[in-house]
């Protein structure tokens, strides 16, 4: 018989229910509490409860999230909540049906809403009546790109995850590190990840959207690395910063924000964001500071911008096996000015012990979709040495999942 009394049983529950984001002084404390709560849940769940959540609750939940996204319900609910305050948040089944952009049978929508309320995506406040959560409002806010996480999962990671164990078994449990000959994504779709993204704008768009959401979630690189190391001693009449594979240009914008006064308004040849032509055209409508130029460029071809102070790669090498990374680095090295130019890589540097779930998930999703991988510091040293670089320093921050590797030509 349990020696836990009813009083002591309810006290922890009341405490847990009282804790929210605002309970913590900073994000470091919040993250530590989240990880503690994850461990607590693992201790409290029975083995059956855990496998039930993983294999049954979550697939049904993802289907519901996508259904309501396709129907435009999340976006409309967020719009109404933004305009109507608390009164606009609480909605009945009939009103939510009215938010949908297509006719849907009421009980079909109800069953999914019921499940999403049970899993805390929305909050049930009465019979067939719900109010949104911070999460569901974010899904409806296109500017957050959280909705693209659902789409990217269904376009890429979830189907590939279903295939991965079978693929590895079929291939003798070898580590997949060759996207041309031995690649889970190609095994499933008949093309590699980036090849399909180029051919399918929807699949490519969901990936770019997820990357933007991930970058918004992670610490800005300029908080990890002292960018005065680039500006001090730089030739302001020459290229200053080249963001290779920079997509939206957020990292370049963060750099410019730190040094706006040092970079003249007329300096249109200082800052560059490079990406594939289809990516550049997708983001062309997005406004960047006039000092930032977009350049259509494939990093497996010769680098067009010579002698820049810095060439920056954010979450690029981890998508590629070592052999492909050497090709990328060779194109950059060929235009660098020895003793002046710096190669900056902002990626996960796996610790020998204590990797976080975000680090390990990124690592395995790279295996899942691109035959890529996250690397340890020792792996980075060997890879960069083979490319003709030496690591100057690895810059870390206790709240950052990624580190900035500064390297220079040997």
Q: What confidence tens digit (pLDDT) does each residue in 83-102 have? A: 987 777 999 999 999 999 99
The answer to whether position 25 is within a domain reads: no
Do residues 340 and 383 make contact, with C-beta atoms less than 8 angstroms apart? Answer: no
pLDDT at 5: 46
Q: What are phi and psi of 160, to 5 degrees?
A: -65, -35
Q: Are residues 297 and 188 in the same domain?
A: no
Q: What is the pTM of this model?
A: 0.86
pLDDT at 27: 86
The answer to whether position 81 is within a domain reads: yes
Structure tokens at 62: 């993802």
What is the Rg, in whole angstroms, of the alpha carbon atoms belonging to the chain? Answer: 24
pLDDT at 4: 45
Q: Are residues 294 and 402 in the same domain?
A: yes
**What is the spatial distance between Cα 343 and Cα 331, in angstroms, rounded to a whole number?**
12
Active-site residue set: 318
Provide the residue range defining the domain that includes 367.
Answer: 218-409
pLDDT at 73: 98
pLDDT at 39: 96
Cα distances from 396 to residues 36, 53, 211, 224, 349, in angstroms, run 23, 35, 21, 6, 9
pLDDT at 9: 52
Q: Are residues 224 and 132 in the same domain?
A: no
pLDDT at 302: 98
**What is the spatial distance between Cα 183 and Cα 368, in angstroms, rounded to a whole number?**
8
Q: Are residues 130 and 276 in the same domain?
A: no
**What is the spatial distance between Cα 342 and Cα 406, in angstroms, rounded to a whole number?**
7
DSSP one-letter string for 381-406: HHHHHHTTEEEEEEE--TT-SSEEEE
> Could you say which of 162, 177, 210 is where a domain stops?
210
Do residues 317 and 347 make contact, with C-beta atoms less than 8 angstroms apart? Answer: yes
Structure tokens at 397: 């921050």
Closest CA to 307 of 337, 329, 330: 337
Angle at 128 (CA atoms; ends 112, 130), nearest 5 degrees:
80
Q: Are residues 111 and 201 in the same domain?
A: no
**What is the spatial distance between Cα 377 and Cα 141, in angstroms, rounded to a whole number?**
37
pLDDT at 154: 97
The answer to whether position 385 is within a domain reads: yes
The answer to whether position 37 is within a domain reads: no
Query: Residues 111-132, buried b or exposed e (16+ Cβ, 10 A)?
Result: ebbbebbeeebbeeeeeebbbb
pLDDT at 8: 52
- In the chain, the number of structural domains is 3
Cα distances from 276 to residues 204, 212, 271, 364, in angstroms, run 11, 16, 17, 25
**What is the spatial distance between Cα 221 and Cα 217, in angstroms, rounded to a whole number?**
12
DSSP one-letter string for 139-202: HT-GGG-THHHHHHIIIIIHHHHHHHHHHHHHTTT----BTTTB-HHHHHHSS-HHHHHHH-HH
Q: Are residues 333 and 305 in the same domain?
A: yes
Which positions of the chain have pLDDT values less than 50? Answer: 1-7
The answer to whether position 1 is within a domain reads: no
Closest CA to 255 of 230, 234, 275: 230
């Amino acid at each position: 018989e349990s020696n836990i009394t009813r009083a002591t049983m309810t006290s922890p529950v009341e405490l847990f229910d009282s804790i929210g984001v605002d309970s913590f002084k900073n994000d470091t404390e919040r993250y530590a509490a989240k990880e503690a709560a994850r461990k607590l849940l693992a201790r409290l769940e029975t083995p059956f409860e855990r496998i039930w959540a993983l294999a049954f609750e979550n697939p049904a939940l993802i289907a519901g999230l996508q259904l309501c996204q396709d129907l435009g319900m999340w976006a409309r609910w967020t719009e109404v909540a933004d305009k109507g305050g608390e009164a606009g948040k609480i909605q009945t089944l009939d009103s939510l049906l009215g938010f949908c952009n297509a006719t849907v049978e009421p009980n079909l929508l109800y069953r999914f809403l019921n499940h999403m309320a049970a899993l805390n995506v929305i909050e049930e406040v009465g019979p067939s009546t719900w109010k949104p959560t911070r999460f569901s409002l974010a899904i409806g806010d296109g500017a957050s790109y959280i909705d693209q996480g659902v789409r990217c999962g269904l376009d890429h990671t979830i189907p590939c995850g279903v295939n991965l164990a079978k693929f590895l078994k079929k291939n003798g449990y070898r580590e997949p590190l060759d996207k041309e000959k031995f690649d889970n994504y190609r095994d499933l779709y008949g093309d590699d990840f980036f090849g399909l993204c180029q051919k399918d704008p929807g699949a490519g768009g969901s990936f770019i959207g997820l990357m933007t959401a991930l970058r918004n979630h992670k610490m800005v690189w300029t908080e990890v690395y002292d960018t005065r190391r680039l500006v001090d001693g730089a030739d302001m009449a020459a290229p200053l910063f080249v963001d290779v594979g920079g997509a939206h240009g957020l990292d370049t914008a963060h750099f410019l924000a730190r040094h706006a006064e040092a970079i003249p308004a007329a300096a249109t040849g200082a800052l560059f964001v490079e990406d594939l032509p289809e990516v550049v055209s997708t983001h062309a409508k997005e406004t960047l500071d006039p000092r930032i130029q977009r350049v259509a460029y494939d990093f497996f071809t010769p680098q067009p911008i010579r002698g820049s102070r810095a060439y920056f790669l954010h979450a690029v090498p981890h998508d590629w096996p070592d052999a492909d990374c050497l090709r990328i680095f060779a194109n950059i090295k060929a235009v660098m000015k020895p003793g002046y130019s710096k190669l900056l890589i902002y990626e996960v540097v796996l610790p020998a012990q204590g990797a976080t779930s975000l680090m390990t998930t990124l690592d395995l999703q790279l295996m899942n979709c691109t035959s890529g991988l996250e690397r340890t510091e020792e792996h980075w040293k060997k890879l960069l040495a083979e490319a003709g670089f030496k690591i100057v320093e690895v810059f870390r921050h206790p709240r950052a999942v990624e580190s900035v590797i500064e390297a220079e030509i040997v």
